[in-house]
Amino acid sequence: MPELRLGDEIDDYCVKCRRLTNHAIVSLLDGVAAKVRCKSCYGDHDYRREEIPPSKRELAKRKELFNAVLANIAPPEEK
C-alpha cells in the first residue's frame, strides 16, 4: 500500500451521509489516517476503515443477550 499523505482521497463510511463516500485525509497518526473529511457533506470524523456501524436494533439485541448472560451468573457466596 502506498504511503498516505494529508489530502489524499480514501473511501470511508460517513455517518452523516450514511453511505460509503470519498474522503480527504485530515490527520495522520503513525502513517495511518486518523481523521477524514467527507467530500459530499464536508463533515469531519474519525477514520472508520470503511466499517458500517451496527444498527440500533443490533445494539439492542446485543444488550439483551448480555443482560441474559449476566442474569444467569450466580452471585458469589459470602463466607
What is the length of the chain?
79
Closest CA to 26 of 44, 50, 2: 44
Alpha-carbon gap, residue 59 to 4, rounded angstroms = 33
pLDDT tens readout for residues 10-57: 999 998 988 999 999 999 998 889 999 999 999 999 998 888 888 889
The answer to whether residue 1 scores a pLDDT higher than 60 is no
Sequence letter at residue 43:
G
Using pLDDT thresholds of 50, 70 and 90, give the confidence band for residue 74: low
Enter the pTM of the model: 0.66
- Determine the pLDDT at residue 53: 82
Identify the residue with better confidence: 73 or 64.
64
Helix H, strand E, coil C: the string for 20-67 is EEEEEEEEEECCEEEEEEECCCCCEEECCCCCCCCCHHHHHHHHHHHH
